[in-house]
Chains A and B, each alone.
Chain A
């Protein structure tokens, strides 16, 4: 079974430029998560989708970040414009069930390491 796929794996951009990350979750997984992991820190949730609906985006900086999950499968996370402080690893995860299934295991992709110069 293929795991969570993310691309690109690495991205270097200059500040004020836009950037987008792509995630393909495990087949059949209804819930998809985007986390941001700053250097030396644990991941922090940015947004959670159940199918195509964003059900928790309270931690997403909406002035510059946007996300979508068309058809409830793949997802993209966009930053426009990027700032120096956005340098981090962006992790995508998926889990089989729907919210309330707190026992679901989240499966993580390898992440995209973003460097903003």
Chain B
């Protein structure tokens, strides 16, 4: 079955430091991958998505992610974190099997804290 694993439940970084959030997926074919961010009391906002083509994907707010098929990974990166990036980040894969197309399967999320 399709699944997404986010190994880090909680990460703390200093403002201005670089960030990498890990995501591993299990999927039988070429995956459609997403990163969403959820701020307290807010809905999920799409940061970026990968469907095909260039494996390095640029998103909003200075985020990027790299699809690595050999490692079944889709890690999210940002070169310099801002205090406003503190939020919870979810990786997701689109489930295309069983007629349930366009269903998103989410990881458990990584909570990012930013130190001043």
> Which residues of A are at the interface with B, using a C-beta cutoff of 8 A?
3-4, 9, 31, 40-45, 48, 55-56, 58, 91, 93, 95, 99-111
Number of A-B contacts (CB under 8 A): 67
Partner of B43, one of A41, A91, A101, A104: A91
Would you call B63 an interface residue if the criterion is a C-beta within 8 Å of the partner chain's C-beta atoms? no
Interface residues of B in 1-52 (CB under 8 A from A): 4, 32, 36, 41-46, 49, 51
Interface size class of B (residues with CB under 8 A): 20 to 34
On whether the beta carbons of B100 and A56 are closer than 8 Å, the reply is: yes
Which residues on B are within 8 Å of A, measured CB to CB?
4, 32, 36, 41-46, 49, 51, 90, 92, 94, 96, 99-104, 106-109
* Min CB gap B25→A, angstroms: 13
Q: A103 and B99: CB pair below 8 A? A: no
